[in-house]
Amino acid sequence: MRIYKGNPELVFRGRVAPWYGVLSGVVAAAAAVLALQPGMPAVVPAIVLVAAAIFLWPIVVRNRVELYANRLEIVSGWGRTIIPYDHVRDVRRSAGALVPEEFTGHVAAASTDAVFIDAPMDGDAVVSVLGNDHLVTELRRRAGLDAPAPSPATSDPTPASAPRRQR
């Protein structure tokens, strides 16, 4: 495992969809129902709540994509995934939650409105941030996936240092 230091150049905060809050509420309601069962030891619903907090709450608190000069870091819950830009083959908006070619072990999206990062050397990733379109544009630029459009000033095939012939 490589440990990198430094401050990110750009940080995209993670997006948490309403369904994630509903899931958290369902788990809390299940713990309450367990607590109301006659003869249920108080420790059982407490364990359910603590386990849910350990797995569900970090996604809300630690959910972001950090862009550095040479890599991106996906911080989601208890994990951190580091992907160098030169390993990224494609970045695009995700087609949805159940697309087979977008199944990955690095799912850091708590929303179905997400971005798919194709990086086979480090493991593909799915992230959902505030400003998904801006993230796609920025990652494609940093990974060199979008060729820069030639500007009118550089469309002249004669190099600037070459002397021009007089007519």
For the residues of 58-93, what is the DSSP string, one character each?
Answer: HHHHSEEEEE-SSEEEEEETTEEEEEEGGG--EEEE
Question: One digit per residue, pLDDT tens: the chain, 167 residues?
Answer: 566 678 899 999 998 888 887 888 888 888 888 888 888 888 888 888 888 888 888 888 888 999 999 999 999 888 888 999 999 999 998 876 666 566 565 566 777 788 989 998 888 888 889 999 999 999 999 999 886 666 555 555 555 555 555 55
For the chain, what's the residue count? 167
- The Cα 84–Cα 115 span in angstroms is 17
- pTM for the model: 0.72
| Rounded distance between C-alpha atoms, residue 60 and residue 105, angstroms | 19
- β-sheet bridge partners, residue 71: 84
The candidate with the shortest Cα–Cα distance to 128, out of 141, 110, 144, is 110
pLDDT computed for residue 76 by the predictor: 87
Q: What pairing do the DSSP bridges indicate for beta strands 63-67 and 10-13?
A: antiparallel
Task: List, in order of start, the domains of the chain with CATH numbers.
Answer: 10-143 (2.30.29.30)
